[in-house]
Chain A
Amino acid sequence: MLEAHSNGAVGVEVIAPGGSRRFVLIEETPFLIGRSGETAKHLQLKDPRISRQCAAIVCDGERYFLEDRGQRHGIFVNGEKVARRELQDGDLISFGVENFYELVFQSALHDTTSIPELLSRIENISSSDAPQGGLQKLNLLLEATTLLHSRLPLEAVLGTMLDHAVSVTDADRGYLLEPRAGGPLHVSLARGRGGTRLSSTESAPSQTALQQAIDQQKSIITEDLAQGGGSLQAAESIIAQRLRAVVVIPLYATTRASSSDSAVHHKRGEFLGVVYLDSRRPAAFSKLDRRILDALGVEAASIIDNARLVERERERERMEQQLAIARDIQQALLPRGLRDFPHAGIAGINLPCLTVGGDYFDFFPLGEGRTAFIIADVSGKGLGAALLTTMLQGALSGIRIGIEPARVFENINYFLCEHEELARYATMFLGILGRDGQFEFINAGHPSPFLLRRGEIDEPFTDGSYPVGLMPGAEYASSRVKLQAGDTLVLFSDGVTEAMDPDDNLYGGPRLREVLGDLHEATLDHVQKTVLASIKSFTRGAAQADDITLLLVRYRA
Chain B
Amino acid sequence: MALQMTEKVVDGVTVIALDGRIVLGDETNAFREKIKSLIAEGRTKILLNLDNVTLIDSTGLGTLVSTHHSAAARGAFVRLCKLGTKFQEVLQVTKLLTVFDVSDTEADGIKSFSK
> Which residues of A come within 8 Å of B, CB atoms?
377, 379-380, 420, 423-425, 427, 445-448, 462, 464-467, 470-471, 494
Is the CB–CB distance between B59 and A445 below 8 Å?
no
Are A427 and B59 within 8 A (Cβ)? no
Provide 22 A-B residue pairs closer than 8 Å at the C-beta atoms, listed in order of the A residue: A377-B58, A379-B58, A380-B24, A420-B66, A423-B63, A425-B58, A425-B65, A427-B93, A445-B93, A445-B94, A445-B95, A445-B96, A446-B93, A447-B93, A464-B95, A465-B95, A466-B94, A466-B99, A470-B62, A470-B96, A471-B99, A494-B58
- B24 nearest CB across to chain A (Å): 6
B96 contacts A380, CB within 8 Å? no
| Residues of A close to B59: CB separation below 8 A | 379-380, 423
Q: Are A379 and B62 in contact (CB under 8 A)?
A: yes
Across the interface, name the chain B residue whose C-beta is closest to A422: B62
| Docked pose: A445 CA to B58 CA in angstroms | 12
When distances are taken between beta carbons in the complex, the residues of chain B under 8 Å from A447 are 93
- The yes or no answer to B110 lying at the interface (CB within 8 A) is no
Q: Of the candidates A380, A423, A464, A467, which one forms a contact with B66 in the assembled complex, judged by CB atoms under 8 Å apart? A: A423
CB distance from B12 to the nearest CB of A (A): 29
Residues of chain B contacted by A424 (CB below 8 angstroms): 62
- Contact of A380 (CB < 8 Å), options: B58, B95, B99: B58
B48 at the interface (CB under 8 A from A): no
Q: In the bound complex, how far is the Cα of B29 from the Cα of A347, in angstroms?
A: 38
Q: List, in ascending order, chain A residues with CB within 8 A of B66's CB.
A: 420, 423, 470
Q: Mark B52-72, 1 if CB is under 8 A from A, else 0.
A: 000000110111011000000
Partner of B95, one of A377, A379, A423, A466: A466
Q: How far is the CA of A447 from the CA of B91 in the complex (A)?
A: 11
> Hey, which bits of chain B sit against chain A, CB under 8 A?
24, 58-59, 61-63, 65-66, 93-96, 99
CA distance A345 to B61 in the complex (A): 35
Q: Which of A420, A423, A427 contacts B94 (CB 8 A)?
A: A427
B57 CB, min distance to chain A CBs, angstroms: 8
In chain A, what residue has the closest Cβ to B92? A462
Give the 3 A-B residue pairs with the shortest CB-CB distance, closest first.
A379-B58, A445-B94, A470-B65
CB of A98 to closest CB in B, whole Å: 10
Chain B's closest residue to A378 (CB) is: B58
Q: How far is the CA of A471 from the CA of B94 in the complex (A)?
A: 11
Most chain A beta-carbon contacts within 10 A, residue among B24, B58, B94, B95: B58
Shortest CB-to-CB span from A443 to chain B, Å, is: 9
Q: Are A466 and B24 in contact (CB under 8 A)?
A: no
- Complex alpha-carbon distance, A425 and B95, angstroms: 14
Contact B99 A425 (CB under 8 A): no
Residue of B nearest to A445 (CB): B94
Alpha-carbon gap, A462 to B95, bound state (A): 9
Of B24, B63, B94, which one neighbours A467 at CB under 8 angstroms?
B94
Give the chain A neighbours of B99 by CB distance below 8 A. Answer: 466, 471
Cα distance A525–B93 in the bound complex, in angstroms: 28
Chain B residues contacting A448 (CB-CB under 8 Å) are 93
A466: B residues at CB distance < 8 A: 94-96, 99
In the assembled complex, the CB of B21 is this many whole angstroms from the nearest CB of chain A, namely 11
Residues on B with beta carbons closer than 8 Å to the beta carbon of A380: 24, 58-59
A466 to B65 Cα, complex, angstroms: 11
- List of B residues within 8 angstroms of A494 by Cβ: 58
- A446–B95 Cα distance when bound, in Å, is 9
Query: With the chains together, A377 CA to B62 CA distance in Å?
Result: 13
Nearest CB in chain B: distance from A504 CB, A: 9
- The CA of A494 and the CA of B59, in the complex, are separated in Å by 13
Cβ contacts under 8 Å, B96 to chain A: 445, 466, 470
- Residues from chain B with a CB closer than 8 A to the CB of A379 are 58-59, 61-62
CB distance from A459 to the nearest CB of B (A): 10
- Of A425, A446, A465, the residue contacting B62 (CB under 8 A) is A425
Residues in chain B near residue A465, CB distance under 8 A: 95
Contacts of A470 in B (CB 8 A): 62, 65-66, 94, 96
Q: CA separation between A464 and B63, bound complex, in Å?
A: 22
> Complex formed: what's the CA distance from A345 to B93 in Å?
27
Chain A residues closer than 8 Å to B94, beta-carbon distance? 427, 445, 466-467, 470
